Structure 1
């Protein structure tokens, strides 16, 4: 420790005290060392007695920018008066300590910013505590349905056990709010929430549009199926054989084996089997189109298929809540059993070329007014086309198979089909290589054609 007196080395004048922080820690250490070397032992003892150990203080200090005499006064406090013995400037310990402890002239950057932030935005601590990060689960099996259409459909269908309906204040302006609340108030606990729930809403909907409506409910009933059994046009019913279920699954899926459908007095049921559809959006779109067009049920495999998640339910716009949905462990077993029960299986596939060139010439001679179809039916193991008036559901209960987005139906499933069905191209597919439709679009077109009531065959047109 250097003693004060005439032998003490002359201290360089430090023009300004810079901010001490972690970003320039090396430079700040040298500045601190220079200040320490210039302090007398009396200064250290005075500060130690006052409990002011400056070396332990790691906070960032910033001198308030004063103007005029205040700034000059701050300098003089650090520089002090000249020593009477040597005439050299010395540090006034007491004055320096009082300046450091002056909360008006010197303040921490952290406290300053916090005060300004609190004045402008409010207390962060209270706001964080009020913000809800995720919605609570009433049961371990609960799932969240989001979006006005999906929520309303789930309430209308009444196939789930409903727990809580969260309505954000922004959803109060929705045109259908009154109708939704009128249906829901007797079935579910309704909670109106504010902006503190926005993060929880986004998490429950995986960042997808929720319109300010989220419903907590039990899972969608998807009973396991062994086979389709029989159908009755007069009663408008078809029967299924269910697979075994656990007690928990039984509470969700139930044990119903007989389902009604709209036969309109003339048709058998149409069931859509979607094999290997991996995109949840496509699966939901298939359900939406199937319900709209009048398909009576949907079956999907438990493996190598997209789940009926909240994404698929949202894409279905609520249709999945109303149409019966089943799952099967082995698609080939399910199709084989159903075929033996009298159901006829149609496999979606590319339109085969005509067997004989003579038929192509005959097609060119058909009058434009003659009935034609963009949907082509053939035998499963031949390219012979069936009549244009062919209507599958008029003669037998029907299963329509559609395959994966990229590869289509597997060979093992194609071998089980009784018929094939395809959609005619509208242009030469070799132009840019687009040779197929999206699976949801193809399923829509095929279902629409299959459910059309046949028209009387035009006289003289026997080409098909």
Structure 2
């Protein structure tokens, strides 16, 4: 058995007898591991709502939110509904995009401002038949196109291009296009300074065409029949509505007018709307422009032409001896060439042109002035057709 040495026993006895002079604070709380300071800091606890009310948690929530519908108060259900709305919107977006997948990149571009887009089957055919324009770019159509248009397009060098109806609506500003649109250059009208001598035997008359202020004499033919030995022209003054313009051109071509003259400064341009309203007659009827109407009247009258202004004549000394009745127009083309002058339905022919005209004619009211207070005039296209028919038949 092991026995400790005497020196070891002595050291142990001395260590127990000697006490430390200084006492270490909190010595009893010191342990082997790190101390936690949080337990020495003050803590504040928030009083819950149900504790303030003196109720348990379940009873307080039942009393507080019993009126809220279970479905409406379910946050999971709201999230599911929002997710469903996002999915539905995504499906609708994909369906909308699928409608435009076959379109070309250029299909969404705006129309070319340097080109005209003639629309309507008759208008397109008339443009290609007359061949008065500089060139023809392409024919855009939807579904199908007639064999006549295909043949004329090949003859004029115009490309055929199938497209959708929305594209045609954009090009024509949502007009009635009959699923066919011709992209072409605008119609350039020759400017004239006067109409000249007539040759009844050869059925021709002369006119002076202006080119950079230089006049060149031209001759063209006119229609002759039993009661018409001389040409008939139509002069438009301040007709600004394109639909009226188109209707006038259509009536004039149908009834047998030989040519038409427009005041260059104050008439509606010959737009695709005019061409569509005229059913293509804009391309078939010879049309000229005049820059100085009074000079045109004076020079043409010296060549033997008679000007008849239509509309309500002004009550003045210049109109006193110029008034004639509509029936007086019958047979006039057997003796001399005539130009009928019409103006807008608001003001009619301007006073200076009435004063320069040879005759003034007015369509009488069938009900009298007292019975037509609200309808005191005819549409200019209707009035023009009536007077043209009186002259030609």
TM-score greater than 0.5 by the shorter chain = yes
SS of 2:344's partner is: coil
Counterpart mapping for 1:338-357 below 5 A: 338-350=300-312
Q: CA deviation at 1:318?
A: 0.3
Q: State the partner residue of 2:220.
A: 259
Deviations 1:254-308 (Å, cap 9, x if unpaired)?
Answer: x882222212375111110010111111011110000000101111111122111
In the other structure, the counterpart of 1:447 is: 388
SS at match of 1:65: helix
Verify the 8 A CA contact 2:209 2:218 in the aligned structure 1: yes
1:224 aligns with 2:191: yes
The aligned residue for residue 263 of structure 2 is 301
Are the counterparts in 1 of residues 196 and 300 from structure 2 also a CA contact under 8 Å? Answer: yes
- In structure 2, stretches of 5+ residues that fail to align are 1-37, 51-73
Cα shift at 1:345: 0.8
CA distance in 2, matches of 1:285, 1:329: 23
Distance 1:399 1:123, change over 3 A: closer
In the aligned structure 1, how far is the partner of 2:307 from the partner of 2:107? 51
Residues 384 and 419 of structure 1, relative CA distance in 2, 3 Å threshold: closer
Q: Which has the larger radius of gyration?
A: 2
Which of residues 423, 442, 446 is equivalent to 2:363? Answer: 423
Which ranges of structure 1 fall in alignment gaps of 5 or more residues? 14-61, 72-104, 354-378, 453-464
Determine which of 158, 180, 200 is the counterpart of 1:189.
Answer: 158
Change (3 A) 1:414 1:9: same
Counterpart CA distance in 2 for 1:110 and 1:245 is: 69
1:413 is matched with: 353
Matched, 1:65 2:77: yes
Partner of 2:14: none
Find the residue that maps to 1:424 and give its secondary structure. coil
Q: Does 1:321 align with 2:283?
A: yes
In 1, distance between residues paired with 2:47 and 2:212?
92
Kindly tell me: are residues 349 and 321 of structure 1, through their superposed partners in 2, closer, same or farther at Cα, counting changes over 3 Å?
A: same
User: Normalized against structure 1, the TM-score is what?
Assistant: 0.61
> How many pairs are equivalent?
324
The separation in 1 between residues aligned to 2:136 and 2:49, in whole angstroms, is 75
Distance 1:312 1:380, change over 3 A: farther
**CA drift at 1:219:** 1.6
Matched residues in 2 for 1:212 and 1:278: separation? Answer: 28
Other-structure match for 1:178: 147
CA distance in structure 2 between the partners assigned to 1:303 and 1:260 by the alignment: 27
Partner Cα separation in structure 2 for residue 271 and residue 293 of structure 1: 12
Q: Distance in 2 between matches of 1:63 and 1:231?
A: 94
Which stretch of structure 1 is more off in the superposition, 177-186 or 440-449? 177-186
Distance verdict in 2 for CA 1:276–1:383, change over 3 Å: closer
Find the aligned partners of 2:125 and 2:326 in 1 and give their Cα distance: 43
TM-score by length of 2: 0.72
Is the partner of 2:181 in helix, strand or coil?
strand
User: How far is 1:161 from its partner?
Assistant: 3.2
For 1:190 and 1:128, how far apart are their aligned partners in 2?
Answer: 18
RMSD value over aligned CA atoms?
3.6
Give the secondary-structure state (helix, strand or coil) at the position aligned to 1:243. Answer: strand
CA distance in 1, matches of 2:100, 2:324: 75
Distance 1:135 1:152 in 2: 24
The C-alpha deviation readout for 1:310-355, integer Å capped at 9, x for no partner, is 21111111001010111111211111111111111111134899xx
CA contact (8 A) 2:322 2:358 kept: no
Q: Evaluate the alpha carbon distance shift between residue 407 and residue 122 of structure 1 in structure 2; reply closer, same or farther with a 3 A threshold.
A: closer
**Match in the other structure for 1:287:** 249
